[in-house]
Amino acid sequence: MINKLRLNAVLAVLLAFSISGCSVRDMAASGMVSFGNEYMSPWFMASNDTDIMCAMGEGMAAMTYPMGPNIDPLIPMVTLASGMCADEKAKQEELRFLRAMSKNDVPTAQDARTLQKRWTRLAAQRQYFGYQAAVRYFGEPGEKCPAFHDDNEEMAYMFGMFGGMQAVQMDLAVGGAAGVPLDVLPRAMDGLKCVESDKFWGIPNAVAAVVDITKARLDDDQAAIQLGMDRLNLAARTGEAEGVRMVHLIEAAMYMTQGDENGIKNVIRKHVKMKEEYPANPKLNLLDEMATRGLVLISDKLWTEHTGQRTPFGKFGTFWDDQLIPADTLDIDDLL
Partner 1 sequence: MKTKMKKAFSGLLTALGAALVVGNVQAEPIPVKMCAFMFMGEGGPEHQALMDYQAAALNWGAKIELKSYVHDKIVVEELKSGACDMANMPSLQARNFNKFTGTLDAPAAMPTYEHLRTVMQTLAKPSAAKYMRNGDYEVIGIQPAGAVFIFTNDNSIKSISDLAGKRMAVLDTMPEMRQLVVDLGMTPVSSTLTNIFQKFNNNAIDITGGPAIVYKMMELDKGLRPNGGILENPVMQGNMQFVARWNKLPEGFAQKSREFFVKNFDQTLKTVREAEDDIPKDLWIPLEGQGREEYHTQTRQIRLAFREQNVYDAKMLTLLRKIRCNKEPTLAECTDPNAE
For residue 97, state whether it binds partner 1 (rule: CB under 8 A). yes
**Residue of 174, 192, 249, 250 that binds partner 1 (CB under 8 A):** 174
For residue 183, state whether it binds partner 1 (rule: CB under 8 A). yes
Of 333, 311, 331, nearest to 322 by C-alpha is 311
Give the three-state DSSP class for 146: coil
Give the three-state DSSP class for 316: strand
For residue 113, state whether it binds partner 1 (rule: CB under 8 A). yes
Crossing angle (nearest 10°) for helices 184-192 and 203-219: 130
Q: Which stretch binds partner 1 (CB under 8 A): 79-87, 168-176, 201-209, 286-294?
A: 168-176
For residue 175, state whether it binds partner 1 (rule: CB under 8 A). yes
For residue 321, state whether it binds partner 1 (rule: CB under 8 A). no
Residue 155 amino acid letter: M
Provide the H-helix boundaries in 183-258.
184-192, 203-219, 222-242, 246-257
For residue 229, state whether it binds partner 1 (rule: CB under 8 A). no
Of 271, 225, 224, nearest to 247 by C-alpha is 271
For residue 173, state whether it binds partner 1 (rule: CB under 8 A). yes
Number of residues that bind partner 1 (CB under 8 A): 30
For residue 185, state whether it binds partner 1 (rule: CB under 8 A). yes
Of 217, 174, 209, nearest to 189 by C-alpha is 209
Across 305-333, b (16+ Cβ under 10 Å) vs e yields: eeeeebbeeeebbbbeeeeeeeeeeeeee
For residue 51, state whether it binds partner 1 (rule: CB under 8 A). no
**Residue of 118, 176, 193, 307 that binds partner 1 (CB under 8 A):** 176
| 331 Cβ contact list (under 8 Å, min separation 6) | none
Residue 219: Cβ-neighbour burial (10 angstroms; 0-12, 13-18, 19+): exposed
Q: Lay out the site mask for partner 1 across 187-206 (x = CB under 8 A, - = otherwise).
A: x-------------------
For residue 186, state whether it binds partner 1 (rule: CB under 8 A). yes
**Residue of 21, 259, 314, 326 that binds partner 1 (CB under 8 A):** 259
For residue 143, state whether it binds partner 1 (rule: CB under 8 A). no
For residue 181, state whether it binds partner 1 (rule: CB under 8 A). yes
Crossing angle (nearest 10°) for helices 184-192 and 106-138: 60
For residue 329, state whether it binds partner 1 (rule: CB under 8 A). no
How far is 170 from 117, CA to CA, in rounded Å? 9
In the bound state with partner 1, the residue whose beta carbon lies nearer, of 3 and 104, is 104
**Residue of 6, 106, 222, 322 that binds partner 1 (CB under 8 A):** 106
- Contact status, residue 178 vs residue 124, Cβ threshold 8 Å: yes
For residue 266, state whether it binds partner 1 (rule: CB under 8 A). no
**Residue of 3, 20, 104, 329 that binds partner 1 (CB under 8 A):** 104
For residue 21, state whether it binds partner 1 (rule: CB under 8 A). no
- Contact status, residue 202 vs residue 245, Cβ threshold 8 Å: no
How far is 95 from 113, CA to CA, in rounded Å? 10
Q: Which stretch binds partner 1 (CB under 8 A): 167-175, 227-235, 311-319, 328-336?
A: 167-175
For residue 223, state whether it binds partner 1 (rule: CB under 8 A). no
Q: Which residues would be at the binding site for partner 1 (CB under 8 A)? A: 97, 101, 104, 106, 109-110, 113, 169, 172-176, 181-183, 185-187, 214-215, 217-221, 256-259
